Amino acid sequence: MADRETATGVLGLIEAYVNTVDLEDGAEQFKDPNTLSAWLVVRRLMKPGHPATEADLKHAIAVREAIRGVIGANSGATIYPLDTATLNGAVAASRLRARFGSDGKARLEPEAGGVEGALGRIVAAVFAAMGEEDWTRLKLCGSNSCRWAFYDHSRNHSSRWCRMASCGNRQKAKRFRERAKIGA
Ligand SMILES: [Zn+2]
């Protein structure tokens, strides 16, 4: 996966979260509640000692896929009401509030703790990222079976595939086969 383009900062967090599953080969990082809470603790989104439940796991995956949905708009995809409803639900459950930190800067912070609070921090990162110029560079791979989130480093924002070496070439090969079929 080293050749997949990655982002940093809030965009990097969102990208990493969305890419905790590889839809192409089915590899899922959030296999159970424990792997979810470990991921959230490592990323400092949650303090240790809040074991996640099966319901938290389901919620975390739903939020992840809803974020994938809104990133899809940067690649020209339709926004589904279910995705925005899921994100609004995460905002409500985590009780996100604007708060001025000791550095004088305002940010959204959850009043809720545990996994709900951690998911609130991820949604707050999406909110912050959407206010940044390079938000539209966070895209989904154009392959329907992949939909990997990647940062488009191209000068004219024209990248469509997560990895030219695999998805891009696979699409090219598919088009080539389709053309060959039409020609036959
Ligand atoms: Zn891809």
- Name the burial class of residue 103, with classes exposed (0-12), middle (13-18) and buried (19+) by CB atoms within 10 angstroms of its CB: exposed
CA 172–ligand 1 middle distance (angstroms): 12
Percent pLDDT > 90 in the chain is 73
Q: CA separation (Å) from 123 to 12, 20, 74, 118, 181? A: 13, 16, 17, 9, 45
Ligand 1 centroid – CA 26 distance (Å): 13
Phi, psi (degrees; rounded to nearest 5) at 143: -80, 125
Taking residues 9-36, report their average pLDDT.
Answer: 94
SS3 string, 160-171, reads CCCCHHHHHHHH
Centre of ligand 1 from the C-alpha of residue 24, in Å: 8
Ligand 1 centre from 96 Cα, in Å? Answer: 33
Whole-prediction pTM value? Answer: 0.88
CA of 48 to the centre of ligand 1 (A): 34
Q: CA-to-CA distance for 138 and 105, rounded, in angstroms? A: 24
Q: What share of the chain is helix, strand, coil (3-state, %, to 5)?
A: 55, 10, 35
Residue 171 has pLDDT above 70, yes or no: no
Residue 94 Cα to ligand 1 midpoint, Å, equals 32
**Stronger pLDDT, 14 or 159, i.e. the higher one:** 14
Could you tell me the distance, in angstroms and rounded to a whole number, from the CA of residue 166 to the centre of ligand 1?
7
